[in-house]
Amino acid sequence: MTSKLTTFISSEKELHDYVKAGATHLIIDNTPYSNRSLKPESTLQNTISLFKTCQTKYPDIKLSLNCDVILHNHMIDDIISLFKLLNDINCHHIRFQDLGILTLIKDYCPKATPCYISETGSNNIESLKQLVELGVECIQFTNELPFNHIQQFENELNIETQLQVHGHILIQHSHRQLLSGINKAAFTFHQTEDHNFKGRFYHFYEGQHGTFMFGHFDRCLLEEISRLKKCNITDWIIDFRGLNNDIISQCITTYQKTAKTDLNKTNLTQYKLNLEILTKRPSKAGFFISNKTDIDWRDEKKQPLKNKQVVAQFLDTEKPNYLVMEAIHKFEVTDNLYLLTPENKELHYNTISISNLTDSNLTVCQSGEMIKLPWIKGIMPGTKLIQPI
Amino acid sequence: MFNKPELVAPGGNFEKVKIAFTYGADAVYLGVEEFGLRKSAQNLTFLQLHEAVELANTLNKKVYVVLNGYTFQDDLEKLPYFLEKLESAKVHALIISDLGTMRMAKKYSTRPLHTSTQASISNWKAAEEWKKVGAKRVVVARECDITECKEIQEKADIEVETFVHGAMCVSYSGKCTISNYSSGRDSNRGGCIQTCRHPFEFNNEPNEDPVYLMNAKDLMGVSLIPEIKKAGLHSLKIEGRMKSNLYLANTVSIYRDAIDTNVLTDNQIDTYETKLKTISNRGFTDGSLHKKADAKESVSSKWNGYSKGSIYLGTIKHKDDQNFYYAEIKGTFHSSENLEVLMPNQLQNIPLNTELFTLSNQKLERVRQNSIVKFKSNTPLELYSILQKPLFNS
Ligand code: SF4
């Protein structure tokens, strides 16, 4: 299967430039309901007119409409009007991320394929199957998914799929007009540097639907092209909205070349570098290779409390008199109990005696009860009383 | 007279569950060992969960369990076991943000399902879709105003829960992956490192001071309680599973009072707001509850640190038969300082002038963090009363 080279257009000029560069799927982005449209002044008529021009001039090009706004109730009527118009002109795909828009597509533009953009979430097969059951016929995977999961999902789902292969990575979307809030211009990209993390440059863009923050590097799958091809993705998306046409065209042409020919690693790295020179930004494959996010605290082998039950936690200690703890649930006083410090050091008593705060011995400690144990060297705040399971 | 909305409070650990109920919450939301969004909240164990549900049932209150981290493929395997354990605990609802988790929950559990605010539901059509897949309630996006919430509740015919108090993401919840890319921590699975609170320098303005562009102020919606009651919203939520016992007790008691009071006067609202402001905060805003949040008003772009009027010192956890109270101390202080006690069902703090002792009956001058003190009080105190130190120069 040949994947379609896909990018966003907001004007006729972009249409011609990107088709010439090799794009085979265009996403119309000049709608008021594209989340980060760069054409805020656009009207429904402009959108339809661009659509019609594409259809007339390039009938073989696949066309989608971007409608990925986070829907608020007051937008519903206008979106219905747009969808009715689109239904009359045979729009192929409508892209959305808000589930509320799915029913509007089905009701008012049934000829279009509903394409769900998972910006975040839906990173498991059950979610994807649920979306399909709801009527989704095409899914754009998130940028957080590694290729092995993408391959697995692709095999299990019998629908069209999309993946961003190159471009700016959206990492945050706020409903607030943050740039206007500090008297910076909206509708233009601003480069910022994280003051607490020098050398990390983030772009911000404020449009009519809020403020968007982009990662400190761009996504680039050129060096991973052989894995990407094995994923059988229907549409490869290049999302460099905001950059000039020449750079975007260059990017499309590069992917077109790599899609057709099997290039060696050195050539692919060179292509990647060429694009980085044009954009003046670093680029990486990121999570496409693997996603080890939070691996340290998800790794069960590294969990110090596996097969152990915490029965009480530290409250106070006075050398050499006592240790006070709080039982976190009911337990019986047995010889097996021992202490575990926050540094994972085990402290064992020869025999353990536990009393209440007025020094009466206990055989059973109740949940929530404050208990006294003998002082022992090494105790510190955070120490836990452990019962092996 | 309007129906009272349910007050849902954070239950970061079992003690906080008890505090939330004691101070007037109708329900708590909490995490259990795994799958919660706050990985570092002291989640409850399953045994504690059973106890919490039992306690809630006795008090005619509810326990909702969060499974609101985004589920990845590798998490699916463990999910049925976890869901079955929650089923056996008979929790009152599961709060879910991921469609796949929702689908699994329907298969392995009969518990009512709530859609988390992480799903950023901001319209009634989306609420209808979540209802189709099993949601009984939606915790709507913080970007919705009260009118939108009402419309969602009525048109989708679903329970609506909205946040009224606490810290806020500047982002639509669930739409931020800053931490994923900047630190290998998953914002949507409890690993957020709050990069949004950093100052940023604008490269084309080298002489400008860095700005806290995304440093959202905290939400405070107490003045809008009458409007919320009029709109008939089902539930109101307080953020903050990681926050102190003082924050929890103070916030819950104030919102409880505001909900229970038939006609709120401006004076009462001023009193509530003054009390809410005593707890460490980033400045307050009513967010989008009234109208779409204005960035100038809702972001602390020139940040001078947290403001507060009171310091949390400890919680009274026990009383013995000789009328000694025992408090767990979390903040250092001197026994000669002005101390106050916040008690359940009382908005006014009580001054505490008494001698403090260690468990071995040594009189204390300086009380240290992570210790237990015992003392007597002329005024009878209740369990889970909160010790605090007012700051006069806040
Ligand atoms: S970085 Fe900020 S906006 Fe993003 S998830 Fe964390 S708190 Fe929310």
Of B125, B133, B185, the CB nearest to A71: B125
Distance in Å, alpha carbon of A206 to nearest chain B alpha carbon: 12
Cβ–Cβ of A70/B141 closer than 8 Å?
yes
Taking 70 as the threshold, does the pLDDT of residue B35 lie above it? no
B305 — pLDDT class (breaks 50, 70, 90): confident
Once rounded to an integer, what is the mean pLDDT over residues B123-137?
A: 98
* Domains observed in chain A: 4-169+217-284 (3.20.20.70), 308-388 (2.40.30.10)
**B73 at A interface, C-beta within 8 A:** yes
Parallel/antiparallel/unpaired status of strands A370-373 and A331-332: unpaired
**A387 at B interface, C-beta within 8 A:** no
Cβ–Cβ of B172/A173 closer than 8 Å?
yes
Q: pLDDT > 90: what percent of chain A?
A: 81
Strand partners, A202: A192
Helix (H) / strand (E) element for A211: namely: strand A210-214
Helix (H) / strand (E) element for A284: namely: strand A283-284
Pocket flag, ligand 1, residue B194 (CB < 6 Å)? yes
Q: How far is the CA of B66 from the centre of ligand 1 (A)?
A: 18
CB pairs under 8 A between A and B: 272
pLDDT digits (tens, 9 = 90+) for B183-197: 888 888 888 889 999
Atom of ligand 1 nearest to the CA of A174: 3
Cβ–Cβ of B103/A122 closer than 8 Å?
no
Q: pLDDT > 90: what percent of chain B?
A: 82
B36 — pLDDT class (breaks 50, 70, 90): very low
Atom of ligand 1 nearest to the CA of B195: 1
Q: Where are the alpha helices (DSSP H) in B69-121?
A: 79-88, 99-108
Distance in Å, alpha carbon of A42 to nearest chain B alpha carbon: 23
Using the CB atoms, write b or e for B336-361: b if 16+ within 10 Å: eeebbbbbbeeeebeebeeebbbbee
**A338 at B interface, C-beta within 8 A:** no
Q: How far is the CA of B41 from the centre of ligand 1 (A)?
A: 16
Atom of ligand 1 nearest to the CA of B188: 5
pLDDT digits (tens, 9 = 90+) for A345-355: 999 988 889 99
Cβ–Cβ of B213/A215 closer than 8 Å?
no
A222 — pLDDT class (breaks 50, 70, 90): very high
Rounded distance between C-alpha atoms, residue A387 and residue A355, angstroms: 17
Rounded distance between C-alpha atoms, residue B339 and residue B355, angstroms: 11
pLDDT digits (tens, 9 = 90+) for B250-300: 999 999 999 999 999 999 999 999 999 999 999 999 999 999 998 989 999
Full DSSP string of A198-209: TT-EEEEEEETT
Taking 50 as the threshold, does the pLDDT of residue B394 lie above it? no
A298 — pLDDT class (breaks 50, 70, 90): low
Taking 70 as the threshold, does the pLDDT of residue B163 lie above it? yes
pLDDT digits (tens, 9 = 90+) for A83-122: 999 998 888 899 999 999 999 999 999 999 999 998 888 9
Once rounded to an integer, what is the mean pLDDT over residues B80-91?
A: 95
Q: Mean pLDDT for chain A?
A: 92
Taking 90 as the threshold, does the pLDDT of residue A141 lie above it? yes
pLDDT at B190: 80
Atom of ligand 1 nearest to the CA of B192: 6
Taking 90 as the threshold, does the pLDDT of residue A210 lie above it? yes
Once rounded to an integer, what is the mean pLDDT over residues B12-23?
A: 96
Pocket flag, ligand 1, residue B178 (CB < 6 Å)? yes
Q: Which residue has the higher pLDDT, B272 or A309?
A: B272
Helix (H) / strand (E) element for B275: namely: helix B266-277
pLDDT digits (tens, 9 = 90+) for B236-249: 999 999 999 999 99
Question: Chain A, 246-265: which have a CB under 8 Å from a chain B CB?
Answer: none
Pocket flag, ligand 1, residue B42 (CB < 6 Å)? no
Q: Mean pLDDT for chain B?
A: 93
Taking 60 as the threshold, does the pLDDT of residue B40 lie above it? no
**Residue A136: closest CA among B96, B188, B129, B124:** B129
Please say whether the beta carbons of A240 and A206 come within 8 A. no
Query: What SS3 class is residue A299?
Result: coil
Write the ipTM.
0.94
In terms of Cβ atoms closer than 10 Å to its own Cβ (0-12, 13-18, 19+), residue A280 is exposed
Q: How far is the CA of B184 from the centre of ligand 1 (A)?
A: 14
Q: Which residue has the higher pLDDT, B331 or B203?
A: B331
Task: Identify all chain B residues contacting A316, using CB atoms and an 8 Å cutoff.
Answer: 328, 359, 370-372
Please say whether the beta carbons of B377 and B319 come within 8 A. no
Taking 70 as the threshold, does the pLDDT of residue B34 lie above it? no
Distance in Å, alpha carbon of B363 to nearest chain A alpha carbon: 14
Beta strands in chain B (DSSP E): 6-10, 27-30, 62-67, 93-96, 113-115, 135-139, 159-166, 200-202, 218-220, 235-238, 284-285, 310-319, 325-329, 333-334, 339-342, 350-352, 366-367, 371-375, 386-390
Q: How far is the CA of A3 from the centre of ligand 1 (A)?
A: 35
Question: Chain B, 195-224: which have a CB under 8 Å from a chain A CB?
Answer: 195-196, 198-204, 210-211, 213-214
Pocket flag, ligand 1, residue B215 (CB < 6 Å)? no
Taking 50 as the threshold, does the pLDDT of residue B38 lie above it? no
Once rounded to an integer, what is the mean pLDDT over residues A199-207?
A: 95
Cβ–Cβ of A192/B200 closer than 8 Å?
yes
A329 — pLDDT class (breaks 50, 70, 90): confident
Atom of ligand 1 nearest to the CA of B177: 4
Cβ–Cβ of A315/B177 closer than 8 Å?
no
Task: Identify all chain A residues contacting B151, using CB atoms and an 8 Å cutoff.
Answer: 73
Q: How far is the CA of B297 from the centre of ligand 1 (A)?
A: 19
pLDDT at B184: 83
Question: Chain A, 54-93: which have a CB under 8 Å from a chain B CB?
Answer: 70-73, 75-76
Task: Identify all chain A residues contacting B299, using CB atoms and an 8 Å cutoff.
Answer: 176, 178, 181
Task: Identify all chain A residues contacting B14, using CB atoms and an 8 Å cutoff.
Answer: 328, 367-368
Distance in Å, alpha carbon of A60 to nearest chain B alpha carbon: 34
**B304 at A interface, C-beta within 8 A:** no
**A294 at B interface, C-beta within 8 A:** yes
Rounded distance between C-alpha atoms, residue A186 and residue A179, angstroms: 6
pLDDT digits (tens, 9 = 90+) for B327-344: 999 999 999 999 999 999
Please say whether the beta carbons of B248 and B278 come within 8 A. no
Mutational pocket test of ligand 1: of B40, B169, B300, the residue with most ligand atoms within 8 Å of the beta carbon: B169
Q: How far is the CA of B217 from the centre of ligand 1 (A)?
A: 12
Rounded distance between C-alpha atoms, residue A137 and residue A124, angstroms: 17
In terms of Cβ atoms closer than 10 Å to its own Cβ (0-12, 13-18, 19+), residue A175 is buried
**B388 at A interface, C-beta within 8 A:** no
Residue A272, number of CB atoms within 10 A of its CB: 21
pLDDT at B205: 78
- The conformation of residue B233, written as its DSSP 8-state character, comes to -
In terms of Cβ atoms closer than 10 Å to its own Cβ (0-12, 13-18, 19+), residue B113 is buried
Atom 8 of ligand 1 has which residue's CA nearest to it?
Answer: B169
**Residue B165: closest CA among B218, B241, B225:** B218
Taking 80 as the threshold, does the pLDDT of residue B105 lie above it? yes
- Whose tokens are 């403001």? That residue is B307
Taking 70 as the threshold, does the pLDDT of residue A1 lie above it? no
pLDDT at B392: 67
Query: What SS3 class is residue A6?
Result: strand
Rounded to whole angstroms, what are the CA distances from A231 to A3, A120, A156? 10, 20, 12
Atom of ligand 1 nearest to the CA of B171: 3
Rounded distance between C-alpha atoms, residue A217 and residue B294, angstroms: 29
Pocket flag, ligand 1, residue B170 (CB < 6 Å)? yes
